[in-house]
């Protein structure tokens, strides 16, 4: 990795606070890796030897019960950070939902670098606290919200993470989902029939448009926020 200054997530990733000379040092430690959809990068409960910035694509964080049942506990997008700095075991599995590109670092080397760069440690802390807040919202979504509230909350989260920077008003925010309705259902703990029914009702009520199977356009952001609770 020698092209950190031209990285597409440079201004949003945890390394955004580093000076050019520090980026050069960090870049020498990393490598780019393409992963295909379905590839598992880290396994729950096993040693996590690497950490990574997500450059492209979407990955999922999965926790499993003793009898093999799985629950998606988070979604990871470009500029997000994955892995366990200053730790050993991964608390969840990390698998690619779509084809993805990662900037990967050996965990021990990254830990040593972070220990010498307080700004990077602070960025890691802020990112961790943000993920904790997101995890708490996810617990509420999965445990207490109705099907309509779940789908509305999910669409708002996806709009926030996937929509291009708004150049106009908040009306008609469009984005392309990186996964299909079955995966949405798995993420929300719903059946695909319930998920499809909720999306169809939202379109009939004028809250959203569905130009294709994966394209979503939000027409009424205020109404969707109200539905999400």
What would the mean pLDDT of 3-16 be, rounded to a whole number?
Answer: 81
Q: Residue 166's pLDDT is what?
A: 53
Q: How many CB atoms lie within 10 A of CB 168?
A: 7
- In sign, the C-alpha dihedral spanning 78, 56, 5, 167 is negative
Three-class secondary structure of residue 141 per DSSP? helix
Question: For residue 48, what is the domain's CATH number?
Answer: 2.60.120.10
- pLDDT above 80 for 120: yes
- pLDDT above 80 for 124: yes
Q: What are phi and psi of 143, to 5 degrees?
A: -95, -30
Q: How far apart are CA 202 and CA 212, in angstroms?
A: 15
Going by pLDDT thresholds of 50, 70 and 90, the confidence category of residue 172 is: low
pLDDT in tens, 33-83: 999 999 999 999 999 999 999 999 999 999 888 888 888 888 899 999 998
Residue that is last in its domain, among 118, 142, 166: 142
Write out the two tokens for 120: 């990077």
What burial letters (b/e) apply to 51-60, b meaning 16+ CB within 10 Å? bbbbbebbbb
What would the mean pLDDT of 134-153 be, rounded to a whole number?
Answer: 82
Q: How far apart are CA 167 and CA 181, in angstroms?
A: 29
Does this model's pTM top 0.85? no
Q: Residue 35's pLDDT is what?
A: 95
Bigger pLDDT: 150 vs 5: 150
E strands, the chain, in order: 31-35, 40-42, 50-56, 59-64, 70-76, 81-82, 93-96, 100-106, 173-176, 208-209, 215-218
Residue that is last in its domain, among 110, 127, 142: 142
Three-class secondary structure of residue 167 per DSSP? coil
Q: How many CB atoms lie within 10 A of CB 40?
A: 14
Are 94 and 129 in the same domain? yes
Give the DSSP H or E segment for 92. Answer: none
Q: Is 106 left (phi over 0), alpha (psi -120 to 50) or beta?
A: beta
- For tokens 């995890």, the residue is 135
Are 104 and 166 in the same domain? no
- pLDDT above 80 for 138: no
- Asked whether 45 and 155 are in contact (CB, 8 A), the reply is no
Are 155 and 174 in the same domain? yes
Q: Percentage of the chain surpassing pLDDT 70? A: 95
What would the mean pLDDT of 209-213 be, rounded to a whole number?
Answer: 91
Are 18 and 40 in the same domain? yes
- pLDDT above 90 for 143: no
What would the mean pLDDT of 10-33 be, rounded to a whole number?
Answer: 86
Q: Residue 169's pLDDT is what?
A: 45
Lowest mean pLDDT across 6-15, 153-162, 174-183: 6-15
**Strand 173-176 relative to strand 93-96: parallel, antiparallel, unpaired?**
unpaired
Q: Residue 168's pLDDT is what?
A: 44
What burial letters (b/e) apply to 72-81, b meaning 16+ CB within 10 Å? bbbbbbbbbb
Are 128 and 158 in the same domain? no
Domain enclosing residue 165, as ranges: 145-228
Are 112 and 18 in the same domain? yes
Question: For residue 167, what is the domain's CATH number?
Answer: 1.10.10.10
Are 108 and 167 in the same domain? no
């Amino acid at each position: 990795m020698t092209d950190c200054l031209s990285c597409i997530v440079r201004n949003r990733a945890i390394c955004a606070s580093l000076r050019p000379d520090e980026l050069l040092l960090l870049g020498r430690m990393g490598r780019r890796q393409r992963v295909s959809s379905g590839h598992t990068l880290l396994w729950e409960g096993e040693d996590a030897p690497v950490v990574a910035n997500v450059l492209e694509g979407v990955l999922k964080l999965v926790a499993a019960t003793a009898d093999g049942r799985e629950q998606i506990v988070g979604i990871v997008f470009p500029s997000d950070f994955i892995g366990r700095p200053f730790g050993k075991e991964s608390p969840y599995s990390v698998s690619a939902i779509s084809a993805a590109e990662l900037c990967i670092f050996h965990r021990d080397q990254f830990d040593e670098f972070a220990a010498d760069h307080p700004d990077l440690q602070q960025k890691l802390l802020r990112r961790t606290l943000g993920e904790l807040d997101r995890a708490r919202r996810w617990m509420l979504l999965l445990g207490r919200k109705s099907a309509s509230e779940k789908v509305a909350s999910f669409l708002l989260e996806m709009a926030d993470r996937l929509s291009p920077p708004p150049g106009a008003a908040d009306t008609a925010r469009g984005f392309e989902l990186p996964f299909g309705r079955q995966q949405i259902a798995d993420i929300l703990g719903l059946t695909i029939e319930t998920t499809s029914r909720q999306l169809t009702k939202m379109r009939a009520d004028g809250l959203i448009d569905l130009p294709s199977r994966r394209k979503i356009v939000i027409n009424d952001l205020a109404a969707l926020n109200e539905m999400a609770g």
